[in-house]
Structure 1
Amino acid sequence: MKIQVKNLDAAAAGDIELNDDVFGLEPRADILHRVVTWQLEKRRGTARGTRERADVARSGKKLGNQKGGGTARHGDRRAPVFIGGGKAHGARVRDFNPGLNKKVRALGLRMALSAKAKDGSLIVLDGLDVADGKTKALIGQLANLGFGTKTLVIDGEALNVSFARASANIKGINLLPAIGANVYDILKHDTLVLTRAAVEKLEARFNG
């Protein structure tokens, strides 16, 4: 698949041949759903459990006689009505650690990239250098590139410092290095922007 490469001024900067094994697959909703669900589950922290009546280390001796004491009848001090007693109906430990086959995760990422290429919301840029790292200069350039309301920009090994500084105050633009590319972030943005370095990194990731 051949796609035009642009620079930040929206001028053509040649073409790039995208690997069909990475950018030319037919997206499958079931695969994308499995990977996104796995990602969101992995983000959830382990819920801490509370100590219930059986978990509290207190005396199990009966407090007094069943009758005749003039007070309520209690069995031991582990009861929830006492300070330091067990929690009644407390939260249970819930550990969210789902598993997903590596091949399915890799296939999901390739399908997410292919989906963006297929619907025309993929833009490849020659580079991300912004003069003096100024936000005002970048806003003028982005208006001509046709970025969507929410745009994900993926760079190569590391983020371009000048672009990161200039785009920090622009709403709807998020940046990731190529190593951080993931299905959820790609799909939830309207536009996916890759640099030449990002394309090389992603293709090497799947062909290595």
Structure 2
Amino acid sequence: MLKFLNKTRQLLYPNVRNLSHTVTVCQSNAATESTTTTGKETLVSKPALILPQNYAEHAPVSRSTARQAWIENVDAVTERKVGLMELHPDVFAAQPRVDVIQENIEWQRKYRYVSMAHTKTRAEVRGGGRKPWPQKGMGRARHGSIRSPLFKGGGVIHGPRSPTTHFYMLPFYKRVMGLTSTLSVKLAQDDLHIIEDVEIPTKDAQFIRDLIQERNWGPSVLIVDKHDVFPENICYATDSIGYVNLMPAYGLNVYSMLKHDTLVLTVEAVKHLEERLLYQLHRNDAASKQTKFKLDQV
């Protein structure tokens, strides 16, 4: 199995016929070698997973930038590599456009912000109903109310009126590029980890704390799965931990990925993200998404 993993050239340029045979041989070898006896207990681990990338539907721009990541276990605190997954270079090896990432952050911060600053006009200020002095004869300037903007305590001209929204829509492909750039940056900085699933063996929050400390996952962790219904154990375990959050794959965004130090994806979440992002990058009606934003645009 180790010899196969070292041959990255064969994994980067997979031959369907030879690869399927190699995978079956590696899995059979791993199954025979994984049965070990330690004292009174016999530990039988699952065969190692080798998940190659399928380039048949969406060919990458450059195969020389292919990326691979280990699949880790979550059934115990001790780290164990249970497989190897090849990541699509168009999603996880994109050009890190820091300017596009910054535009996504500004967009996400502003589209949900509503300013409540409010000033009163001369019609809303209390008092000033009568004319302060006669129109003529006193040698003074003509005024109709002491609540005019010219007077102290009067109304405000062109002041802020609440609620004021700062909503605007970022271009569609800048949003897509923001996701691919952020995922690529997370992987390049070794802040992206892939796990089998989110099935942990206990509801105890200490298990998650020990897991994060053992894996060096940083001060804050975002765990992403394909589905929005998470198992009961991980929901109870992370409920009292403020720096660990759960999120479905359809809600993944640039702001949340950068807000958390470590991004943890399940295998299903990785496949789902690759499928959706590759579809957007290679869709036939891309020109229609570059037009002015409409409310029914998805």
Match of 1:111 in 2: 181
TM-score normalised by the chain length of structure 2: 0.59
Q: Does 1:51 align with 2:120?
A: yes
Q: Does 1:42 align with 2:111?
A: yes
CA deviation map 1:105-144 (0-9, x unaligned)? 1101110000011111110011111224221233233322
CA deviation map 1:60-106 (0-9, x unaligned)? 65266579xxxxx97337558xxxx9644685134302221010111
My pick for the range that moved more, 125-134 or 27-36, is: 125-134
Residue ranges of structure 2 left out of the alignment (5+ in a row): 1-66, 137-141, 280-298
TM-score normalised by the chain length of structure 1: 0.81
Q: Does 1:16 align with 2:91?
A: no
Say which SS state the counterpart of residue 139 (structure 1) adopts.
Answer: helix
Residue ranges of structure 1 left out of the alignment (5+ in a row): 68-72
Match of 1:6 in 2: 72
Q: CA RMSD in A?
A: 3.2
Say which SS state the counterpart of residue 240 (structure 2) adopts.
Answer: coil
Q: 2:269 aligns with which of 191, 198, 204?
A: 198
Flag the structure with larger Rg.
2
Identity of aligned residues (%): 32
Report the residue type matching 2:122 in the other structure: R
Query: How far, CA to CA, are the matches of 1:126 and 1:61 in structure 2?
Result: 77
Distance 1:56 1:177, change over 3 A: same
Q: Does 1:174 align with 2:245?
A: yes
User: How far 1:14 moved relative to its partner?
Assistant: 1.0
Report the residue type matching 2:209 in the other structure: I
My pick for the range that moved more, 118-127 or 172-181, is: 172-181
Report the residue type matching 1:207 in the other structure: L
Q: Does 1:120 align with 2:190?
A: yes
Which gives a bigger RCO, structure 1 or 2 (Cα 8 Å, sep 6+)? Answer: 1
Q: Is the 8 A contact 2:131 2:143 kept in 1?
A: yes
User: How far 1:23 moved relative to its partner?
Assistant: 0.7
Q: 1:155 aligns with which of 225, 231, 235?
A: 225
Match of 1:100 in 2: 170
Query: How far, CA to CA, are the matches of 1:21 and 1:2 in structure 2?
Result: 13
Q: Does 1:33 align with 2:102?
A: yes
Say which SS state the counterpart of residue 133 (structure 1) adopts.
Answer: coil
Q: 1:139 aligns with which of 209, 219, 239?
A: 209
Report the residue type matching 1:3 in the other structure: A
Q: How many residue pairs get matched?
A: 203
Query: How far, CA to CA, are the matches of 2:105 and 2:173 in structure 1?
Result: 14
Query: How far, CA to CA, are the matches of 1:137 and 1:95 in structure 2?
Result: 43
Match of 1:70 in 2: none
Query: How far, CA to CA, are the matches of 2:128 and 2:260 in structure 1?
Result: 58
